[in-house]
Amino acid sequence: MAEQAAFAKMNGLGNAIIVADMRGRTDHVTAEAALALNADPATRFDQIMAIHDPRLAGTHQYIEILNSDGSRAQACGNGTRCVVQALAAETGRRAFTFETRAGVVSAEEHDDGSISVDMGRPRFEWQDIPLAEEFRDTRQIELQAGPIDAPVLHSPSVVSMGNPHAVFWVDDDVDTYDLERFGPLLENHPIFPERANITIARVTSDTAITIRTWERGAGLTRACGSAACATAVCGARTKRTGRHVTVTVPGGPLDLLWREDDHVIMTGPAEWEFAGRFDPETGRWERQQEGAA
């Protein structure tokens, strides 16, 4: 059994997050531990954000991200906000730079408690998303779900925000679509060799979009930050919206700005729930008593 590590159960607009403190250690949170933690209703999560010592000069930490099915993820904007809130409370620092599998991410906590994360530049080339075959125009690709002659969802915009996304545009309320049925099929469609996050999006004005997301490796989620970013840039790229929008997920609104330098800035809240300690090898855990060191 590995030595226990501290963790905080948090959420970003309902996106369930475990922030695991793996600093000063050489081991990693295992897939088995992730599955065990997710099986417990008290620690069920969408992503684990495991904070490791920095590996890259100029960064504060290396963040390893796990999905609830034990797979590794490249990016998680809501989880990054949770990491910033946890580290800001511990250190008093307000601005951070992290290394992730998706690259270097910078983030900052504001005076009002909201947190902005620079999610980097979107990538639109088919091989960068990646797709299994060439599409010259990724603003809309040939893909559908449902009957061939009357598809329920079709012609998504696709993009990488450090991880692959497909955004299906609809005119009706996003809650009327059976995403729990179509999400797994589309996530694992052969066109996505690394699977994909699947989002249903409805534009309600040139500055507002409402979405629901089936998250790769996690399933239905109340919030997916990278999906909100993907939707925002695809909305602007297809002339459905401008470059500064409010994207409303089931957990609430996120502010998205696709800056002129091509970087996507996501701003939103993070919320602490409780603290504990866990075994990164097995996932066995215990709640930390309030006021305990």
Catalytic residues: 76, 224
**Helices (H) then strands (E): counts for the chain:** 4, 20
Residues in CB range of 214: below 8 A, 6 or more apart: 179, 180, 182, 183, 184, 186, 187, 197, 198, 199, 220, 221
Task: Identify the burial level of 179 via C-beta atoms within 10 angstroms of its C-beta, where 0-12 means exposed, 13-18 middle and 19 or more buried.
Answer: buried
- 172, 179, 142: which is closest to 157 by C-alpha? 142
Three-class DSSP category at 33: helix
- In angstroms, how far is CA 8 from the centroid of its own chain? 18
- 102, 97, 99: which is closest to 128 by C-alpha? 102
Angle at CA of residue 161, ends 159 and 165, nearest 5°: 45
Amino acid at 34: A
β-bridge pairing 244-249 and 208-215: parallel
- In angstroms, how far is CA 292 from the centroid of its own chain? 31
